Structure 1
Amino acid sequence: MPYRSLVPEAKAGLNKFKMETANQLGVSFTDYNGDLTSRQCGSVGGETVKKMVEQYERNL
């Protein structure tokens, strides 16, 4: 399910961040990700959120 951004202008940046995280984890995200496992998608989502929280904490 696609996410809704609180700031729609940030969508491109968030997508780029997600793709960078997927590449670091060795998961190939494309326009169609139906062939990926739930574990692969979940690991990308979890790692993305983890990095966002770390970045936020550094900026406090």
Structure 2
Amino acid sequence: MASSQKLVPEAKNGLSKFKAEVANELGVPFTDYNGDLSSKQCGSVGGEMVKRMVAEYENKLK
């Protein structure tokens, strides 16, 4: 499986919405084209998404 393939294709819309929400909260201007963003900006969004997903999973384990 290529790394760009989604494990759950049905989750694409939810992940896009989540990414936009996190980007908005961090003040990163995500649009359909993000080629003008720095690696730091994109990384901050991705890192925050992972942080929140891990926290959600940990809360479910309690």
TM norm structure 2 = 0.88
Q: How far does residue 48 in structure 1 lie from its aligned partner after superposition? A: 0.5
Q: How far does residue 3 in structure 1 lie from its aligned partner after superposition? A: 3.8
Task: Give RMSD over aligned pairs.
Answer: 1.3
2-structure distance, mates of 1:25, 1:37: 14
The gaps in structure 1 that reach 5 residues or longer are none
TM norm structure 1 = 0.91
Give aligned pairs, total. 59
Counting aligned pairs with the same residue, the percent is 69
The gaps in structure 2 that reach 5 residues or longer are none
Which deviations, in whole Å up to 9, do the C-alpha atoms of 1:1-59 show, x marking residues without a partner? Answer: x8432110011001101110000000010010011111000000000010000011111
Q: Which runs of 4+ in 1 moved over 2 A?
A: none
